[in-house]
Amino acid sequence: MITVLSGGVGAARLLRALCLVLDPGEMTAVVNVGDDLVLHGLTICPDLDTITYTLAGLGNDELGWGLRGETWRVMDELATLGGAAWFRLGDRDLATHLYRSQRLREGATKSDVARELCDRWGVKIRLLPVTNDDVATVFDTELGRLSFQEYFVQHRHDVAVRSITFEGAADARPTAEVLAALRDASRIVIAPSNPLISIDPILQIPGVREILENRRDDVVAVSPIVNGAALKGPADRLLLELGHDVSPLGVADFYKGLIGTIIIDEADAALAERIGSHGIDVRVTTTIMAGPGNAERLARAVLS
Ligand code: FO1
């Protein structure tokens, strides 16, 4: 059994790659909930939904989020009314948020809903929100305090960030399933998700970081930074703004004490020795999952 700490699109693609070489029933994803929001009275869990849709083969590959073959009639009507249409919820995607929100009102947890949606769509990897308590990633920026999606979508992650906080994280409890998945896994993988805004909100949930520290030799991270740039999203910009090296070395430093191995891209092979001198094993392979050949090679490197 392996357990993968997961954000959204990068993690979804790694999990899909791992399915090429491992039985999906042997995998658990522990998923970030710091991006979650309540909008129009609906509870939306972007990272859980991105992973579910991708693994179900229903994901919108062009957008990296939402469903394939989406239509936008509700959003267009909402915009006509002058409602908040900046965060685009597709007509099909809306059904997921309606379903989740009603189930939460009935007393179900986010974990219950994640399991129900995976069952409905035939997703065999177990998806576990790291906690069922409320955690919100918040940015202190040049424009003031912004919620995750205000920063990410409304401002297109194009404002300077001074600091990031995870409101509610210190008082949140990881679920029992999450703790067991981390303790019992033969290997823990940190997906090539944004270390600062996708993985850190998982690590900040009390108990999670300690398990990784105690199991360091079994923890392998995949660098989301290749050749000085993020594969997707603002990881490069945020690392720079918050004083980290924008390279796999900066990523390895961020995870210092938590990982035994880091997988870096061939483009960064020259950094292997310097990272190795920090006491972390380095594997070099293709980390860009363009095409099934590369994806399978990366999956094998993660498991080897
Ligand atoms: N990303 C956008 O750039 N624009 C959107 O309007 C948008 C809507 C949206 C709706 C549901 C959902 O699950 C994700 C959505 N995303 C959208 C993606 C999301 O903002 C981010 O990619 C993640 O939170 C970061 O992992």
Q: Reduced to 3 states, what is the DSSP secondary structure of residue 293? A: helix
Encode pLDDT of 204-260 as tens digits.
999 999 999 999 999 999 999 999 999 889 999 999 999 999 999 999 999 999 999
- Span 9-37, mean pLDDT? 97
Say yes or no: CB of residue 288 within 6 Å of ligand 1. no
pLDDT at site 75:
98
State mean pLDDT over 112-137.
98
Return the pLDDT at 155: 97
Mean pLDDT of the chain: 97
The stretches of the chain forming alpha helices (DSSP H) are 9-18, 46-55, 73-81, 91-105, 110-121, 148-149, 176-184, 200-203, 208-214, 235-241, 248-254, 272-276, 291-303
Average pLDDT over residues 94-101: 98
CA of 186 from ligand 1 middle (Å) equals 32
Residue 139 β-bridge partners: 146, 164
Degrees (nearest 5) of the Cα angle 34, 210, 200?
A: 25
Residue 170 has pLDDT above 90, yes or no: yes
Residue 231's pLDDT is 85
- The CATH topology of domain 2-139+168-303 is Rossmann fold (3.40.50)
Percentage of the chain lying above the pLDDT 90 cut: 95
- 23 DSSP β-pair partners: none
pLDDT the model gives residue 145: 98
292 has a pLDDT exceeding 90: no
* Contact call for residues 52 and 121 (beta carbons, < 8 A): yes
Task: Report the residue among 76, 150, 153, 202 best suited for mutation to probe ligand 1: largest number of ligand atoms under 8 A from its CB.
Answer: 153
The answer to which of 53-67, 72-86, 101-115, 283-297 has the lowest mean pLDDT is 283-297
- Kindly state the tokens that stand for 22: 């491992």
Asked if residue 81 has pLDDT above 80, the reply is yes
For residue 269, what pLDDT is reported? Answer: 97
Q: For residue 298, what pLDDT band results from cuts at 50, 70 and 90?
A: very high
Strands 187-190 and 229-230 come out as unpaired
Q: Where are the domains of the chain?
A: 2-139+168-303
Convert the pLDDT of each residue in 33-53 to its tens digit.
999 999 999 999 999 999 999
- pLDDT for residue 290 is more than 90: no
Nearest CA to ligand 1 atom 21: 46
pLDDT digits (tens, 9 = 90+) for 173-183: 999 999 999 99
Going by alpha carbons, the residue nearest to atom 10 of ligand 1 is 89
- Residue 45 Cα: closest atom of ligand 1: 13
Mean pLDDT of the region 140-157: 97
pTM above 0.95, yes or no: yes
pLDDT band at 203 (very low <50, low <70, confident <90, very high): very high
The closest-lying atom of ligand 1 relative to the alpha carbon of residue 156 is 3
Residue 291 has pLDDT above 90, yes or no: no
Residue 162 phi, psi (nearest 5): -95, -40
Q: What is the mean pLDDT of residues 179-202?
A: 98
Q: Take residue 134 and report the two structure tokens written for it.
A: 């409320």
Residue 150 CB–ligand 1 contact under 6 Å: no
Q: Find the 260 Cα to ligand 1 centroid distance in Å.
A: 32
